[in-house]
Structure 1
Amino acid sequence: MKNLDLSFYLVLDPDLCASFGLVATALAAVAGGATVVQLRDKRAATDQIIETGRALKMALSGTGARLIVNDDVEAALAVGADGVHVGQDDMDVRLARARIGPDMVLGLSVETQALAEAVDPTIVDYAGIGPVFATPTKADHKQPIGFHGLACLITCCPVPSVAIGGLKAGHVREVFAAGAKCIAVVSAICGSADPEAASRRISSNIRSIR
């Protein structure tokens, strides 16, 4: 999948990362084993996202980790990010793909069986499926689906799945048992006093079952 190691996905939260900063948190997480870093800041303007994205891109250079920008195609292009992730209420995936071209990674949030079945694998590279649990990091999230719902949606979805929503290191086994290709975390790392150690715990749990 476009040389993307889709196993351990960090979504950066600017509020939770305030004590360390987004760049330092991302570097610590990648040092601990994170393979994908998503810049998500719903309150920031495009120019702010570009500034932060460029700093992240420079910091992550040479680490092998990939940078995804959430919900801002123009910022992703300006940054030279590896990809963009859109929600169901964001830019239509067909328009997003047309704008970013065939080589950038494109992810799509999926919350229901109907949406999972409707994913077009010729356009979308991976689906973010959830929320598995309720999470305060996204106030407007849809109804949590639990691990049973996660497994059902993964079965319906024609592209690799990233499980997201309130997930911690202790959920790794259940996430992969449900058929997910990747676990995505936010507060498990961004809200940690030691982001690298938190990342290592998740990475270790992933390695133990793969």
Structure 2
Amino acid sequence: MRADVQRIRNWMKLYLVMGSSNCKLNPLDVVDLAIAGGITLFQLREKGPNALAGEARDGFARQVQSRCQGHGIPFIINDDIEWAAALQADGVHIGQEDAPLHEVRERLSDRIIGVSVHNLEEAERAIDEGADYLGIGPIYATSTKLDAQAVQGTRLIRELRARGITIPIVGIGGITADRADAVLLAGADGVAVVSTITMAEDVRVETSRLRQTVLRNNLTYKSSLDHLP
């Protein structure tokens, strides 16, 4: 059974996206420290140069998944629908060039499905086809995703909320603790980060700092979203 909207909204608060090659420290140590610091959702994005493959990839994924499960943190796979199904992951996140959402929903009917969107048309189509949440970005410039779209700031988040669209939203792209306020106040339910946590000098401290920013803003942005389901 799919999670209800409010649970998904809560999971969006501090969303870590990473792969084994994104980290300054041992990646499993990064996961442990990020969990200790307060992440609320994890997406494994095992792609790019030096990414793991085969049994090494599966073994790493299962170790991360076990850590997430031990702390009640949903474990999401980026793009790879079959891998998500094989791992019995809690969900999958897809982009506009991945498998059509309606096909993903048929394959993973009871899992969380997030979709990256960059304009109102893509957002409305994702909602119509059954997305559980939208990932919007890049909010700020980022070097993590080399094929990222143009920076768009918080404009689309504000537009969707102004139109009364209530689906859970997470902002991503170049977000730091100092920049998170603007994303949350625009109407996002949370922030997704990669290098802000994975390349931090002190992963736990930086994660905790981000979490405190989200919590500090909670009453402010929640007051404008109290009518949402």
Q: 1:174 to 1:182 in 2, by over 3 A?
A: same
Q: Quote the Cα distance in structure 1 between the aligned partners of 2:172 and 2:63.
A: 25
Check the 8 A contact 1:129/1:153 in 2, yes or no.
no
| Greater mean deviation of Cα atoms: 43-52 or 54-63 | 43-52
Flag the structure with larger Rg.
2
Q: Which amino acid aligns with 2:178?
A: G
Partner of 1:24: 29
1:12 maps to 2:18 = yes
Count, aligned residues: 208
Of 195, 200, 205, the match for 1:197 = 205
Change (3 A) 1:29 1:154: farther
Matched with 1:57 is 65
Instruction: Indicate which of 37, 59, 69 corresponds to 2:77.
Output: 69
CA 1:73/1:155 → structure 2, altered by over 3 Å: closer, same or farther?
A: farther
**Percent of aligned pairs sharing the same letter:** 34
Q: Deviations over 1:182-205 (max 9, x none)?
A: 111111101111111110000111
Residue 22 (structure 1) shift: 2.6
Residue 149 of structure 2: which of 142, 145, 154 is its match? 142
Q: Structure 1 CA distance, aligned partners of 2:30 and 2:162?
A: 33
Tell me which amino acid in the other structure corresponds to 1:110. V
Q: Cα deviations across residues 147-187 of structure 1 (Å, max 9, x unaligned)?
A: 23432245455521110011001122111110001111111
SS of residue in 2 equivalent to 1:106:
strand
Unpaired runs of at least 5, structure 2: 219-229
Counterpart for residue 100 of structure 2: 92
Q: Stretches of 4+ moved more than 3 A in 1?
A: 43-49, 153-158
- Offset, 1:86: 0.5
Other-structure match for 1:169: 177
> In the alignment, which of 106, 115, 121 is matched to residue 108 of structure 1?
115
Gaps of 5+ in 1: none
CA displacement at 1:146 relative to structure 2: 0.9
1:152 to 139, 148, 159: 159
Once residues 55 and 83 of structure 2 are traced to their aligned partners in structure 1, the CA distance between those partners, rounded to angstroms, is 7
Contact 1:130 1:150 in 2 (8 A): no
Q: CA deviation at 1:120?
A: 2.4
